[in-house]
Amino acid sequence: MDILLKKTEIKDLETLYHFQNDEIAKQMAAFTPKDTADKKAYLERWSNLITKESCFMQTIWQDDQILGSVVSYKMEGEPQVSYWIDRPHWGKKIATKALMIFLGLYPERPIFGRVAYNNYGSKKVLENCGFQKIGVDQFFANARGKEIEEWIYRLDS
């Protein structure tokens, strides 16, 4: 089955909020908001962000079902990419397909991706889409309650 990316709408955020509260997914992502259970804060934050030019967010659809999202935002003036797939759909190449489509819609380069050192699935997604590992840093991971290694990837074309 094919997937489709559509501009994220406020009505999509309710579903996306529930995806980010999956405990296993939070541990794998590592870098989450401090309180992922604060639904009001999540909805307010993303409702505001999706209206800004500096945030380009797409919802991943298959048939009439939301599977996740892909977003680009600026961090220290540089575009970053992030994606979140509902856990029952992991391992089906949905993130890779969605990111490839997204990169065709979002032409700004270079673009960066960051992943927790042990998030092997996410590393594979970035690498399959042509990103190259360019560095390592240490950051506090709210979902894990400690500082962990984060791998930094870059796509130039």
| Chain Cα centroid distance, residue 5 | 13
Residues of the chain short of pLDDT 50, as ranges, are: none
Question: What CATH number corresponds to the domain at position 93?
Answer: 3.40.630.30
76-105 pLDDT, tens digit each: 899 999 999 999 999 999 999 999 999 999
Task: Say what the pTM is.
Answer: 0.93
Give a yes or no: residue 70 inside a domain: yes
Q: Evaluate whether 16 touches 66 at the Cβ level (below 8 Å).
A: yes
Give a yes or no: residue 146 inside a domain: no
Rounded Cα distance, 125 and 113, in Å:
10
The reported pLDDT for the residue numbered 110 is: 98
The reported pLDDT for the residue numbered 36 is: 74
Sequence-ordered alpha helix ranges (H) in the chain: 10-19, 23-29, 39-49, 94-105, 120-128
Q: How far is CA 127 from CA 46, 47, 153, in A?
A: 27, 30, 8
Give a yes or no: residue 22 inside a domain: yes
Q: Provide the domain limits for residue 83.
A: 4-112
Give a yes or no: residue 144 inside a domain: no
Phi, psi of 40, deg, nearest 5: -60, -45
